[in-house]
A and B are shown apart, each in its own frame.
Chain A
């Protein structure tokens, strides 16, 4: 197990280097010169040259990349164009806020998705199975922003059960109860697609296991249905469900963007949205890096959990 952990950790390094290269090169894709974005159209030649030298843009590309990489690794993401402060100063609070939202959404998606999937498979063709399968099909294809707006309209604007925007009521920052009151609407809208995906996978995984020969053999041996399901079938459903759940956590962390924009949740999605509107490239770059890092790490942990659960996956 230790060996696998080491090997997987090493395999992450080239991916992360690649990720940093992509984030770096994306910045060069900005049409025109990045200094022109900073200085505006009336900049003098000398000022442009000065700023280019300041950012090292007059150096060869690989030197620029290495300088940028070494700064980034040390937590220096450069200066935000819009906020006029170092990106690192605004980034980490936002990351924490996004993790709160992601945790809430992931718990909902995994709990209801996996739980519902198991129930549906056990009562195959029952009323719950048929309704849930159809609902999951629609949820899996619908846009997050539409759910968000629907929930916002019904539960915040019409019924008034939950606040429409934000993470805390002004003046109650840090109050956990207030946070829990603000969390449900954005968390539910960020979770629905993943919930549907996890539901569908769990359901078909259990159905698949239940049709296998060893389950039939267990039935033939006269084991109770209860014992077959809890001792045998559920055990082999765990790895695929862990796998998809891990993938979905990364997916939620990235695509919570829409929920954050609609409910003005101060996470990195909203940060990125505002950065996109003001073309604040260093912020976009930092957000991309952080999200890819979380995505890769979640996948790594998922892989390791699966390796720990299934002997075959260890080879």
Chain B
């Protein structure tokens, strides 16, 4: 089926990106920070020895793209993991106990929802100060209410069912019920959300560094590379375009892979094509 092929392509590209990040020191043709004075600044792609050319400081673009995946992949994955764990915790507690606890938790998440995500991330990252760790904190905060709400809805549903009652009557304590009975039953929508938001997080992470509130130069990063190209856009458009295309390819691949995971785990939400 065409859809499975898309999902497979997505997964292959995603794995290739992760491998690129892991193997960067071995597969990168040059040191990403080294200036190649013999080639000069802004060499176009397909220059001998420099497949993607050199940037405004005569650094090899291909090497910087490869090293840039070391920023892009963790900056997207860590916030997803952090917000999933926190979202599961608050969502399960709020959904199981409901009442005052549930309302307080859910209304708090509603407040975070009242800000457009990108903007909130920019503001938090800016206020905490630039850097990769702070960008990840900002992205986790933006994701948290989504996960929390998904888990809350699922938990309310699950905790109404008889087997929960059975476990409680059978003498299992509430914490054990939450971990052994509720958690496994609410996990799959969280995994689906996590994989489907991977592409958006790569784009958001690159966006934060494009604006200068994420990773800082001279670290090789796709967003910073696109931003650096702005000053030479008229004379050397590829400086901005190459990292942009890489971001698009990886993000589209993540979305294909994410849709595949969703269809596999949650047949109810199967997308119509």
Q: Which chain A residues have a beta carbon within 8 Å of chain B's beta carbons?
A: 14-16, 18-19, 21-22, 26-27, 29-31, 133, 137-138, 140-146, 149-150, 152-153, 157, 204, 207-208, 250-251, 253-255, 257-258, 261-262, 272-273, 275-277, 279, 281, 284, 287-288, 291-292, 295-296
10 tightest Cβ-Cβ pairs between the two chains A and B: A254-B116, A18-B111, A146-B244, A276-B126, A141-B251, A254-B119, A143-B203, A255-B118, A142-B248, A157-B234
For the complex, what is the distance from the CA of A255 to the CA of B129, rounded to whole Å? 20
8 Å CB contact of B206 from A15, A143, A292:
A143
Q: Count how many chain B residues have C-beta atoms less than 8 Å from C-beta atoms of the other chain.
A: 49
Cβ contact within 8 Å between A142 and B114: no
Cβ contact within 8 Å between B122 and A276: yes
Cβ contact within 8 Å between B230 and A262: yes
Cβ contact within 8 Å between B118 and A146: no
Q: Would A150 and B252 be within 8 Å (CB), given that A22-B112, A142-B247, A295-B114 are in contact?
A: no
Nearest to A141 among chain B residues (CB) is B251
Cβ contact within 8 Å between A149 and B272: no
Within the complex, the shortest CB–CB distance from A98 to chain B, in Å, comes to 12
Flag whether B254 is at the interface (Cβ < 8 A): yes
For the complex, what is the distance from the CA of A137 to the CA of B248, rounded to whole Å? 11
Nearest to A30 among chain B residues (CB) is B127
Give every chain B residue within 8 A of A258 (Cβ-Cβ). Answer: 207, 210-211
Flag whether B233 is at the interface (Cβ < 8 A): yes
Cβ contact within 8 Å between A15 and B122: no
8 Å CB contact of B244 from A149, A157, A288:
A149
Q: Can you list 12 pairs linking A and B with CB atoms under 8 Å apart?
A: A18-B108, A18-B110, A18-B114, A30-B127, A137-B252, A142-B203, A145-B226, A149-B230, A255-B118, A284-B127, A288-B119, A295-B115
Flag whether B271 is at the interface (Cβ < 8 A): yes
Nearest to B247 among chain A residues (CB) is A143
Flag whether B240 is at the interface (Cβ < 8 A): yes
Cβ contact within 8 Å between B115 and A291: yes
For the complex, what is the distance from the CA of A204 to the CA of B118, rounded to whole Å? 26
Cβ contact within 8 Å between A138 and B237: no
Per the 8 Å Cβ criterion, residues 101-116 of B in contact with A are 107-108, 110-112, 114-116
Interface SS majority for chain B:
helix
Per the 8 Å Cβ criterion, residues 239-269 of B in contact with A are 240-241, 244-245, 247-248, 251-252, 254-255
For the complex, what is the distance from the CA of A140 to the CA of B252, rounded to whole Å? 8
For the complex, what is the distance from the CA of A30 to the CA of B117, rounded to whole Å? 20
Cβ contact within 8 Å between A15 and B233: no
Give every chain B residue within 8 A of A272 (Cβ-Cβ). Answer: 119, 122-123
For the complex, what is the distance from the CA of A281 to the CA of B240, rounded to whole Å? 30
Given contacts A149-B240, A254-B117, A276-B211, 8 further A-B contacts (CB under 8 A): A14-B107, A15-B107, A16-B114, A143-B203, A145-B223, A153-B237, A287-B123, A288-B123
For the complex, what is the distance from the CA of A141 to the CA of B247, rounded to whole Å? 9
For the complex, what is the distance from the CA of A247 to the CA of B245, rounded to whole Å? 28
Within the complex, the shortest CB–CB distance from B39 to chain A, in Å, comes to 23
Cβ contact within 8 Å between A141 and B229: no
Within the complex, the shortest CB–CB distance from B19 to chain A, in Å, comes to 21
Nearest to A140 among chain B residues (CB) is B255
8 Å CB contact of A31 from B112, B129, B234:
B129
Flag whether B212 is at the interface (Cβ < 8 A): yes
For the complex, what is the distance from the CA of A140 to the CA of B196, rounded to whole Å? 12
For the complex, what is the distance from the CA of A279 to the CA of B212, rounded to whole Å? 12
For the complex, what is the distance from the CA of A277 to the CA of B126, rounded to whole Å? 8
Cβ contact within 8 Å between B107 and A295: no
Type the 1/0 row for B109-151, where 1 means its CB is closer than 8 Å to any CB of A.
Answer: 0111011111110111011110000000000000000000000
Within the complex, the shortest CB–CB distance from A139 to chain B, in Å, comes to 9
Give every chain A residue within 8 A of B234 (Cβ-Cβ). Answer: 153, 157
Give every chain B residue within 8 A of A30 (Cβ-Cβ). Answer: 127
Nearest to A28 among chain B residues (CB) is B127
Cβ contact within 8 Å between B127 and A22: no
Give every chain B residue within 8 A of A292 (Cβ-Cβ). Answer: 114-115
Flag whether B199 is at the interface (Cβ < 8 A): yes
Nearest to B237 among chain A residues (CB) is A153
Within the complex, the shortest CB–CB distance from B232 to chain A, in Å, comes to 11
Cβ contact within 8 Å between A157 and B247: no
Nearest to B110 among chain A residues (CB) is A15
Flag whether B273 is at the interface (Cβ < 8 A): yes
Q: Which of A19, A146, A254, A284 has the most CB of B within 10 A?
A: A146
For the complex, what is the distance from the CA of A284 to the CA of B119, rounded to whole Å? 10
Cβ contact within 8 Å between A133 and B213: no
Within the complex, the shortest CB–CB distance from A260 to chain B, in Å, comes to 11
